[in-house]
Amino acid sequence: MADQKPQIFELDNGTMQVKITNLGCTITSLSLPDKNGNLADVVLGFDSVEPYLNRVAPYFGAIVGRVANRIKDGKFTLNGVDYTLPVNRPPNSLHGGHKGFDIVVWEVAEYKKGEKPSITFKYRSHDGEEGYPGDLSVTATYTLTSTMTLRLDMEAVAENKATPVNLAQHTYWNLAGHNSGNILDQSVQIWGSHFTPVDQNIVPTGEILPVKGTPFDFTAEKKVGVSIHEVGLGYDHNYALDCGEEKEGLKHAAKVKDPSSSRVLDLWTNTPGMQFYTANYVNGIAGKGGAIYGKHSGLCLETQGFPNAINQPNFPSVVIQPGEKYEHTMLFEFSIE
């Protein structure tokens, strides 16, 4: 593969415009109309690739991997072999280690314009990279499938060794506009009647508990700010997604509504879990166009395998065997209501 430079590509179908860089397959911008036809960029991010490269902000817009979320103590055992990973968020390994998929330059394999514009990125992660076993071939394709819908298809094939794989798309959304302040007034519904409680280091304890009667209950639409003060710094929890209504073989994961613009995001996926995160650690980051992003200035809906699943036998397995393919699809369906 030729050594490619990080650059920004655009997908535009006349209604919605998305900017994505080959650095970490990162969504840097997504502009779409509100109820009055006014465009706003609903993604937290930066105007150029440098701040992403320098990790000025925590994983804004990127695909994280090889394994998203936390691996307890940065250790796991697979097929009798003990693996040790970088402890980049002590005491755990987070989002793939020191140099995860979010900070590598992916190859642009295909780039199509037209009414269903798309871009496909490829990356080959080598055996031992950030401590993980085996070579892994990864592709990610972003497509504007209709006027207001973005689809992301992620695939990974283990070439020669079994390995855990758990990719997540880490965009921080603010449907009122990236520079509009906090998201506490926006309402969220999550099709997850159970969640995985965490220890003091934000690693799941292994329990899978009902959300009913807890501040984690978003089974009915609820403003983010209603019970956020009851959950410490804010939400940063994995939900076990229910199997309910489907679209294109994907299950409904979440719905976000912004009262000011009437923008709505419906998210559909095929993963067992979803991390709901309310930008608890974002603190005065200088973003696009001079915007300053503070705490709770966006929310993440990271569909995923369960965190630390490699060390929790009762969680759905995130291991793929040699020759097997990992497949993860996300459908971001925007609307006005």
Q: Is 165 helix (H, G, I), strand (E, B) or coil?
A: coil
302 belongs to the catalytic site = yes
Active-site entry in 95, 170, 252, 328: 170
How many angstroms separate the CA atoms of 177 and 52, rounded?
20
176: left (phi over 0), alpha (psi -120 to 50) or beta: alpha
Question: What tokens does 201 get?
Answer: 């280091």
172 known member of a binding site: yes
Picking from 75, 81, 64, the residue whose alpha carbon sits closest to that of residue 161 is 81
Active-site entry in 130, 252, 296, 302: 302
How many angstroms separate the CA atoms of 83 and 171, rounded?
29
170 known member of a binding site: yes
171 known member of a binding site: yes
Q: CA 313 from chain center: how many Å?
A: 24
Question: What tokens does 230 get?
Answer: 């009851």
Sheet holding 236-240, edge to edge: 209-210, 194-196, 236-240, 273-277, 300-304
In contact, 254 and 239? CB cutoff 8 Å: no
Count CB-CB contacts under 10 A for residue 269: 25
36 known member of a binding site: no
How many angstroms separate the CA atoms of 256 and 265, rounded?
5
170 belongs to the catalytic site = yes
In contact, 63 and 24? CB cutoff 8 Å: yes
201 known member of a binding site: no
Catalytic residues: 170, 302
Q: Binding site residues for beta-D-galactose, as ranges?
A: 69-70, 170-172, 236
